[in-house]
A and B are shown apart, each in its own frame.
Chain A
Amino acid sequence: MTPLIEVENLTLQFRTDEGLITAVEDVSFTLMKGEVMGLVGESGSGKSVTAKALMHLNARNAVYAPGSRITLHTEAGPVDVLSLKTPRELNIVRGGAISMIFQEPMASFAPAITIGKQMVEQLQLHSDMTRAEAKALSIEMLDRVGISDTARRFGQYAFELSGGMRQRAMIAMALSTKPALLIADEPTTALDVTIQAQVIDLMKDLVDEFHMGIIFITHDLGVVAQTADKVNVMYLGRLIEEGPVRGVIRDPKHPYTQGLIAALPKLDDLDAPLTPVPGDIPSPLERPRGCVFNTRCAQIVGEACHRTMPPEIPVDESHQVACHIYREDRE
């Protein structure tokens, strides 16, 4: 397998009135071509900010630390994403090699422009298709994602579609440019379970067919278990555990990942009490010293937890965890 995108030492801060806020700190990972990665974490963990960094899409007050590097491997060779400046350069990644699907499809479509016009517009922006070709491809894509009566839907506005239909149209639009990487930010959270199941099935089919890489951002571990090949778990801007989906879900190593799985209500044992992860996620203005999870961790092993952020420690060849418990040289 060849790498699709490599993130090295990504550190990202936002300049605000209250000072510099660290959103992502020293995150590195690689996604291979055709691989599906689940990016898991609670609100404020930096998962959406990380995904936006891949398209250099963060707000103007974002400050990337000097060592941060994101390399996208395209057919024309590697692209250093963070060095892109002009809109023309940025179009290589935004909507070109990378497409994004958002959580709320109603907010992502322009309300006063028909679905069809929006699809054609973005195709013409990213390719040298004629209007007629772009229209034909758009209708074909709508058909591919299971929308019936596509010719009529093409001329409709976003409000005329139901929630599930809108999300399908969003997926059709994102895939019509044939991106090498699809970023899906909580794409099923706003949908009912029955529709969520349909959208998950659709996405699995599309992965097989188009063979693209997907980063699936979600807080729902069930969705991750159903879709992803590997999982990255983030907490307060740090990558704290990464590994293959079976390893991470069946045998989580980090106390936070363990807590997250224990907090899920399970249908096969209704008597099991619900065990929350104690406490709240700290405000990004009050990042704890040492390990970022030390304010909520029930398995503190000693002073080290309060002094230093643990490095990523390999559990086996593909599974890594950033926790002092697994350090062999710990005092």
Chain B
Amino acid sequence: MSDPLIRADGLSVHFTLGGLFDRRILKAVDNVSLDIEQGSFFGLVGESGSGKTTLGRALLKAVTISKGSARYDDGEVSHDLASLDGPDLKDYRKRAQLIFQDPYAALSPRMTVRDIIAEPLEVMGLTANRAETDERVREIAAKCRLNLEHLRRFPHAFSGGQRQRISIARALVSGPKFIVADESVAALDVSIQADVLNLLKQLQDELGLTFLFISHDLSVVAHTCDHVAVMYLGRLVETAPTRKLFAAPRHPYTKALFSAIPSLDPDDRGTAQKLTGEIPSPTNQPTGCKFHTRCPHAIDLCMREEPQLESEGGHDVACHRWKELMSAVPA
């Protein structure tokens, strides 16, 4: 196997809140280690407040990494993300890009589609003259299934799916290797969502991209990603190849997420094992296992001691009781 494109080791992002007397630390991402292999479509799931967006931003060096390290290595160059600045940071901006959630908010209404897509090239100074810029814009627009006539128009004239294709073209125009897609299909209608997902997969193939795909929608993740990591309150609780994870989830939280997906079968109502309560505040985290306040299987040990990721058969899980629970209830 090739070296991973992204390797995070004990990565933490902490924010300091409050003033002089009520200083609190918010651990948005806490001690996360993961490898994203070159060319993979890596899914990151969790509820709001789980830290998945912050982790994505940390890997783009859009927030400061508080502790631990993260390394980017595409074979050409290698960057240590925690200490990146100056010309190296500029170089990394070219290699790592973000696709946003809301295609209505992400595009300036005052710029034409051509200018929106060309802006990263101009800002980064990647092209020598206007003719070269135009050529790059046309090339990437065609790959994203936008036609030349679209380039002269303003974003308001486009539907959600078309706007998201414009955002994708803008993210890809600088020729990045690593793309963070943060809930990039969540705001789209179901009939369009599949189209954008297929486009992302196709671009991944054609351009040799590596994706970190952040989503709360497990069925979308199951269909697009080859590897999935599940986050809860800033910690990684489970990570595995997609098939393994969906065939036999090990963490009680992952199981609860699966069973909460509303079934398409009208006669399959109310069989789910529902989670009670909500995700605790990240400023006031529970002791021990972060999930014990909502876990139906929590015991004394879970309240005292935080479980570490255990690996077995390429499938990692952080739970004290997973083996016991797997043998008791066949998946």
- Is the A/B pair a real complex? yes
Q: Which residues of A does B touch, CB under 8 Å?
A: 42-43, 162-165, 192-198, 200-201, 204, 219-223, 225-226, 245-246, 249-250, 259-261, 263-267, 270, 272-278, 280-281, 283
Q: Is the CB of B262 within 8 A of A42?
A: no
Contact, CB under 8 Å: A267 / B219: yes
Interface range for B: 35 or more
B191, A197: Cβ atoms closer than 8 Å: no
Is B197 among interface residues, defined by CB-CB distance under 8 A?
yes
Q: Which residues of B contact A278 (CB under 8 A)?
A: 195
Bound Cα distance from A198 to B220, whole angstroms = 21
User: Known contacts A267-B222, A276-B195, A280-B161: does B262 contact A196 (CB below 8 Å)?
Assistant: yes
Contact A263–B193 (Cβ < 8 Å):
yes
Chain B residues near A197 (CB, 8 Å)? Answer: 259-260, 262, 272, 274-275
| Cβ-defined contact, B47 with A192, below 8 A | yes
Name 16 extra pairs, CB < 8 A, besides A193-B216, A246-B267: A162-B278, A193-B257, A197-B259, A197-B272, A197-B274, A222-B261, A225-B263, A226-B269, A267-B222, A267-B258, A270-B242, A270-B243, A276-B194, A280-B161, A280-B162, A281-B159
Contact present for A277 and B260 (CB under 8 Å):
no
A193, closest chain B residue (CB): B260
Query: Within the complex, what minimum Cβ distance (angstroms) separates B26 from chain A?
Result: 16
A229 and chain B: residue at smallest CB distance: B266
For the complex, is B218 an interface residue (Cβ under 8 Å from A)? yes
Q: A-B contact count, CB below 8 Å?
A: 127
Q: Which A residues lie within 8 Å of B219 (CB)?
A: 264-267
Do the beta carbons of A274 and B264 come within 8 Å of each other?
no
- Given A201-B274, A226-B269, A276-B192, CB of A265 within 8 Å of CB of B159: no
Rounded to whole angstroms, the CA-CA distance of A280 and B157 in the bound complex is: 12
- Closest B residue, CB atoms, query A231: B266
Please, which residues of chain B bring their CB within 8 A of the CB of A281? 159, 189, 191
A56 to B82, CA, bound (A): 57
B63 at the interface (CB under 8 A from A): no
Which of A270, A275, A276 neighbours the largest number of chain B CB atoms within 10 Å of its CB? A276
Closest to B160 in A: A43
Which 6 pairs show the lowest CB-CB distances between chains A and B? A222-B262, A276-B195, A42-B189, A277-B191, A276-B194, A274-B194
The verdict on A265 contacting B220 (CB below 8 Å), with A42-B191, A225-B265 known, is yes
Does A264 lie within 8 Å of B246, measured CB to CB?
no
- Bound-state Cα–Cα, A43 to B160, Å: 9
Q: Are A270 and B223 in contact (CB under 8 A)?
A: yes
Nearest B residue to A267 via CB reads B219
Q: Are A221 and B264 in contact (CB under 8 A)?
A: yes
The minimal Cβ–Cβ distance linking B280 to chain A, given in whole angstroms, is: 10
* Set of chain A residues within 8 Å of B47, measured between Cβ atoms: 192-195
Chain B hits for A201, CB < 8 A = 270, 274
| A-B residue pairs in contact (CB < 8 Å), sample of 29 | A164-B278, A192-B216, A197-B259, A197-B274, A197-B275, A200-B262, A204-B270, A220-B262, A221-B190, A221-B264, A246-B266, A246-B267, A250-B266, A259-B191, A263-B191, A264-B264, A265-B194, A265-B220, A266-B219, A267-B219, A267-B258, A270-B242, A270-B243, A272-B223, A275-B194, A277-B192, A280-B159, A280-B161, A281-B159
Inter-chain CA distance A273–B267, complex, in Å, is 26
Asked if B295 lies at the interface with its beta carbon under 8 angstroms from chain A, I say no
Q: Which residue of B lies closest to A42 (CB)?
A: B189
CB distance from B44 to the nearest CB of A (A): 15
Q: Does A219 contact B261, Cβ atoms closer than 8 Å? A: no
A221 to B263, CA, bound (A): 9
Asked if B303 lies at the interface with its beta carbon under 8 angstroms from chain A, I say no
B190 touches A264 (CB 8 A): yes
- Nearest to A192 among chain B residues (CB) is B47
Q: Contact: A223 with B262, CB < 8 Å?
A: yes
Query: Which B residues lie within 8 Å of A163 (CB)?
Result: 48
B203 at the interface (CB under 8 A from A): no
Contacts of A225 in B (CB 8 A): 262-266
Say whether A267 contacts B261, CB under 8 Å: yes
Residue in B222, B258, B278 whose Cβ sees the most chain A Cβ within 10 Å: B278
Chain B residues with CB under 8 A of A165: 278
Nearest residue (CB) in A for B193 is: A263
Chain A residues in 8 Å Cβ range of B243: 270
B311 at the A/B interface (Cβ < 8 Å)?
Answer: no
Q: How far is the CB of A53 from chain B (nearest CB, A)?
A: 22
Contact B264 A222 (CB under 8 A): yes
Among A198, A246, A272, A283, find the residue whose CB has the most chain B CB atoms closer than 10 A.
A198
Flag whether B147 is at the interface (Cβ < 8 A).
no
Query: Whole-angstrom distance between the alpha carbons of A214 and B123 in the complex?
Result: 52
A43 and B193 alpha carbons, distance in the complex (Å): 13
Q: Is the CB of A43 within 8 A of B275?
A: no
Bound Cα distance from A278 to B265, whole angstroms: 25
* Complex: A265 Cα to B190 Cα, angstroms: 9
| Chain B residues, Cβ within 8 Å of A204 | 269-270
Fill in one digit per residue for B186-229: 1 if any A CB lies within 8 Å of its CB, else 0. 00011111110110000000000000000011111011000000
Which A residues touch B274, using CB under 8 A? 194, 197-198, 201
Q: How far is the CA of A263 from the CA of B191 in the complex (A)?
A: 6
Is B256 positioned at the interface, with any CB of A under 8 Å from its CB? yes
Question: Digit string of B125-162 for contact with A (CB within 8 Å is 1, else 0)?
Answer: 00000000000000000000000000000000001111
Give the complex CA separation of A217 and B219 in angstroms.
Answer: 21
A201 to B260 alpha-carbon distance, docked (Å): 11
Q: In whole angstroms, what is the CA distance A167 to B60 when docked?
A: 34
Chain B min CB distance to A301 (Å): 21
Q: Is the CB of B191 within 8 A of A260?
A: yes
Q: Say yes or no: A260 contacts B190, CB within 8 Å.
A: yes
